[in-house]
A and B are shown apart, each in its own frame.
Chain A
Amino acid sequence: MDHKGDSDSYASAGNLAPPPPPTGRRVVMGIKDVSDLEELELPSETMPLNMGPSHPAMHGTVRMVMEVEGEKISSADIQVGYLHRCFEKESEYATYTQIFPYTDRLNYVSPMLNNVGYALAVEKLLEIDKKVPERAQYIRVIVGEISRITDHLTCLGASAMELGAFTPFLYNIKFREWLWELLEELSGARLTHSYVRIGGVSGDLTEGFGDKLRDVLRRGREVLVDVDKLLTRNRIFRDRMDGVGIITKEDIGAWGITGPMARASGVAYDIRKDHPYLVYGDLDFDVPIGSVGDNFDRFAVRIEEMHQSMRMIEQALDKIPDGPVMLNDPRVALPAKSETYNSIEAMISHFKLIMDGIRVPPGEVYSFTEGGNGELGFYIVSDGTGRPWKCRVRPPSFANTAILGKVLPGLFLADVVPTFGMVNMIGGECDR
């Protein structure tokens, strides 16, 4: 090979003329002249600014296209759908039981609440919702409230971290991990539990579960005290949260917002209180509401809800009766293995439930529960076969995220992060 040409080109590069000497003007940070800084006028044209979907504060799943005038947002276009996984279409090709793993992946920081909401919808259609054993109903409340705590812990911790407060995040995640360890003990899976079944739950509470849970809650309360100390009187945190992203009561109704976001704006709507399901009617708990409807109220409501959830769990642990955790109906529940292997009746029941699915009588149902972020609804249409003809989810995150297009304009760019964080948009359930 002849390297001459290469060396020639290097030589010529070395012979390049030196840069011209600086003139009188100094160019700093893209602004033409330092002296311009004093009489700087904002450009009259707005600038389009894209955030996400690959942005650390966008939870990896949402894209915001904003028009900014300097630091100020003049319009925001919220584009969801980056985590669309065809939950509803896939459900039409799965038996009613096979849908539970899909529901785990809706709001994936509180899978148990999705499990419970979906099971209640199918049970309503099967007209067995009143027959589910009481112990199973208590267990569903306990695991559901544990999931609500993990949901809020994730939301608050991540939001604090996005504002630069890394320590509360680690504390929250520590507490969440204790709870997930308990749920793992119960269901075998740390995150995607698939623990609830139509007609009950897949297994009873493990040995000593109640004591361990009480201990975790005791330690968890200490964690919340630490977090409270680190955040609630933290000047930086308060400055970024207080009075930012105010949503009025009227907008809550107009945009269909539910859950902690609605309650932070003073709408005392909690499905557990207003339309009690499971055994929520027998439990004593308060519904915290905010007065301003800003980001800090949303933060404070979530903190208080965690305390209320812990109250509920402790009451449920006191009250939980003994008994079966699954409905005793060969048409709905898998028979015990000893029965299945030793009697033809249970064998057929097992076979039909696995192969054809639970036969749900033709009809339609809308069933709604209080999810981590608000009203989690399932609308199911059955044609009498073992799989739904239609399984629609009413995800709370979808309505909650939609209002950002109205709230963000007028705020500063830096307010996007705490405001979006307090919406707690979960791509899995928003995009389904």
Chain B
Amino acid sequence: MPEAPATTPTSAAAPAPTPAPAADKVTVTIDGKAHQFPKGTNLLEACNEAGANVPFFCYHPGLTSPAVCRQCLVDVKGQPKPVPSCYTPVADKMEVTTNSAHALDVRRQMLEFTLLNHPIDCPICDKAGECTLQKHYFDWDAKFARNDGIKVRKAKVVDLGKHIVLDQERCILCTRCIRVCDEVAHSSELTMAQRGDHEVLTTAPGRRLDNPYSLNTVDVCPVGALTSKDFRFAMRVWELYATPSVCPGCATGCNVEVHASRDQVYRLVPRLNPTVNKHWMCDEGRFTYKRLAEPRTAIPKVAGTAVDWDRALDEAARLLRAGVGRGVGTVGVVFNAQWTNEDLYALARLAFDHLKIERAYLAGFDEGWYDDILVSADKNPNTAGAKAIGGARLRTLMDLSRDLKARTVTTLLVGGDAGVLGPNGTATTPLDKLDGLVTLATHAGPVADAAQVVLPVAAWAETDGTFTNKLGMVQRIRAAVPPPGDALPGWDALSHLGRKLGTPMDLTSAKQVFLEAREKLAFMRGADWGRPFLPVQLRFANTRG
């Protein structure tokens, strides 16, 4: 569980009451107070763990430290000059002062140098509002300019790659992006060129920044030098509300923040989870939010005509009853690996417990490319959950296609339209052979078009629930925006359908479904729903930049 990792470091949770140093621990005095840290701990991390709040640009907790920004200088007793704490391991009996007048002054002077050639771009800069340079200036410098010389001009719009634009003037030469390419994507496209105040970030000769993790460079960039072509000029960051969630792009289940404003999602950014994705996510995952804006089902429909929920549910119940009347073996149900555990659990209760349907199939998006960094071949976020809930009854889409052709199955209840048509361009599922098709659909398209009854349901980012990733971790997703039109969460729509079928399921909230499912399903045991969360506007959240 990301909310409560099983591997909580007990040493950090319970500090030793007596300063009896363990063999692998060293005692460091930070601002007059003694602390113990494991040998080899980075001094910057040690200081900030002790609450000293030492600033930095080039250091990143997920990358190596080159100590180029000199923003984390601290005074160490016995050293003639302040040392870069991000590049210094702790040593026994070290005495560190993070807030001495001298250390503060040299840090301020370094900031003054950094600002010397920085363009006056804040009003047009995408990073403004989540910019580390702005934050550090305000927190640590806050002095007016002493220099009114002419700033060094560099290239303003450099097209670095498929998703990235570089503004060389804004770059503060921290090299974080270079290290992301080197250490996360293992592709090394970026480098520094020239020297002094003419130094610029650029791609290696003949290369483009087009690795599958390129947008992480935008996240780590402390200023607005690297910007995402997708997010650029789309929205001012301080207007966004951040909701913690999980990427629906593949079975890895990278933890993300959904940044939305006025009921529209604008971007996904990775959220730290040490066991799943650390600080990173792939470019493909970042664009999964675009699917929310594709043509959606917003109103219930019967035979292509918009109706209210009541009529649609009546018709759906009639079709399913007729199907069961012809023999329960002729009725099939499609589970979808894009759905949350809660929606799937409600579907299983309705289909297996109440309607006694035996024929179940698992749908989802096609497998795709993968690597050994983050991307999984399985492009569905909840295949593990769907398989655990559906159990041995689940068959493949090929089976569905065969059963439809043979007219073994003549009535179908589809929970989630994603990928139901079958692998792209190959075995198209012959939905036209059905006598009755009830679809709980998020998106308009062939599956919704073929259905006699379409019940609109909320997609990812519009509903609360949990996904089970390929490691078996049950991770919480949260609603960041409301669903379109009259769409309801899947469990809610199924609960209403159950009532029409004479089998009330009494599902009242996603949390209640989760708690009920956790009682019954082994793979969800120990999972935690997490605390209620109120999205905070980024301008006041103080979490970025």
Contacts and interface: CB of A to CB of B under 8 A. Distances in A.
Interface of A: 329-331, 335, 339, 341-349, 351-352, 355-356, 359, 385-387
Interface in B86-100: none
Contacts of B542: 385
B540 A343 contact: no
Given A330-B143, A344-B118, A356 B539 contact: yes
Given A355-B129, A356-B539, A385-B542, A348 B122 contact: yes
Interface residues of B, number: 23
B119 interface: yes
Given A342-B148, A352-B135, A356-B238, 19 more contacts: A330-B144, A331-B142, A342-B120, A343-B145, A343-B148, A344-B115, A344-B145, A345-B115, A345-B137, A345-B144, A347-B120, A348-B133, A349-B138, A351-B122, A351-B134, A352-B138, A355-B129, A355-B539, A387-B540
Given A344-B118, A348-B134, A385-B542, A335 B144 contact: yes
17 contacts: A330-B142, A330-B143, A331-B142, A339-B145, A343-B120, A344-B115, A344-B118, A345-B115, A345-B145, A347-B122, A348-B134, A349-B137, A351-B122, A351-B123, A352-B134, A355-B238, A386-B540
A345 B540 contact: no
Contacts, number: 64
A385 B141 CA distance: 18
B497 interface: no
Nearest to A353: B138
A210 B119 CA distance: 43
A345 B238 contact: no
A431 to B, nearest CB: 27
B128 interface: yes
B124 to A, nearest CB: 11
B144 to A, nearest CB: 5
A343 B123 CA distance: 13
B144 A351 contact: no
B184 to A, nearest CB: 30
Contact of B120 (A330, A341, A385): A341
Nearest to B145: A343
Contacts of B122: 344, 347-348, 351
Nearest to A339: B144
Contacts of A329: 142
Nearest to A356: B539
A422 B186 CA distance: 79
Interface in B27-43: none
Among B118, B123, B142, the most chain A Cβ lie within 10 Å of the Cβ of B142
What are the 5 closest A-B residue pairs judged by CB atoms, nearest first? A343-B145, A352-B138, A345-B145, A330-B142, A351-B122
Contact of A344 (B119, B143, B238): B119
A245 B133 CA distance: 63
A351 B125 CA distance: 11
Nearest to B135: A352
Contact of A345 (B123, B129, B141): B141
Interface string B155-188: 0000000000000000000000000000000000
B20 to A, nearest CB: 34
B137 A348 contact: yes
A240 to B, nearest CB: 53
Nearest to B540: A385
B146 to A, nearest CB: 9
A329 B122 CA distance: 20
Interface in B270-293: none
Interface in B104-129: 115, 118-120, 122-123, 128-129
Interface string B513-545: 000000000000000000000000001101000
A97 to B, nearest CB: 14
Contacts of A355: 128-129, 238, 539
Contacts of A385: 540, 542
A339 B133 CA distance: 18
B87 to A, nearest CB: 27
Contacts of A387: 540
A297 B119 CA distance: 65
Contacts of A339: 144-145
B301 to A, nearest CB: 40
Contacts of A386: 539-540
A351 B148 CA distance: 20
